[in-house]
Amino acid sequence: MIGLTHYDRDLELPGKLGDERLIPPSESGLTDLVNEHLLRAENSAGPDLQAVSSEVAHVRYKSRVAIAATYAVRLNSGEQRAITYKAHLGDKGQQRLVGGRYASKLAEDCSPLRPFAYLEERGASLWVCPADPELRGLIRAFDMRRTARWIDRLNVEPGWVMRVRASTLELKRYKYSRRAVLQVVAKFRCGESDRRTRGLGLRVLPPAIAAKSIAQRALVADFNLPIPRLLGWDESAGWLLEEWLPGTPSDRDDLSITPQAMACVVRLHRSPTVGLAARESRTQAAPVALLGAFNKQASLPAWLSNPVEVPSTARIHGDLHPDQVLIDGAQSSLLDLDSLRYGSKEEDLASWIVDGIALRNECGVDFLIGSTVEQYRTAGGDQVDEPLLRMLVAVELVCRAAAGVRRLEQGAIRNASRLLDQVNPTLGVAR
Fold of the domain spanning 137-243: Phosphorylase Kinase; domain 1 (3.30.200)
> Quick one: pLDDT at residue 262?
98
Tell me the C-alpha distance between 430 and 411, whole Å. 30
pLDDT tens by residue, 5-61: 788 999 999 999 999 999 999 999 999 999 999 997 655 555 689 999 999 999 999
Domain ranges of the chain: 13-128, 137-243, 248-429
The whole-number pLDDT of residue 293 equals 61
The proportion of the chain whose per-residue pLDDT surpasses 70, expressed as a percent, equals 89
Q: Please spell the DSSP secondary structure of 57-94, one letter per residue.
A: EEEEEETTTEEEEEEEEEETTS-EEEEEEEEESSSTT-
Reported pTM: 0.92
Residues near 119 by beta carbon (within 8 Å), at least 6 away in sequence: 33, 37, 93, 125, 126
pLDDT per residue as tens digits for the range 202-212: 999 999 999 99
Residue 26 C-beta-side C-alpha neighbours within 13 Å: 3
Q: What is the CATH number of domain 248-429?
A: 3.90.1200.10
Integer Cα distance of 84 and 107 in angstroms: 16
Amino acid 234: pLDDT: 98
Strands 239-243 and 314-316: unpaired
Query: 305: which residues sit within 8 A by CB, 6+ positions away?
Result: 286, 288
- Supply the pLDDT for residue 169: 96
Low-confidence residues of the chain: pLDDT under 50: 429-431
CA 277 to chain centre: 26
Instruction: Please report the pLDDT score of residue 292 as a whole number.
Output: 61
- What's the confidence (pLDDT) of residue 4? 66
Longest dimension (CA), the chain: 74
Residue 97's H or E segment, with its range, is none
Give 217's DSSP letter.
H
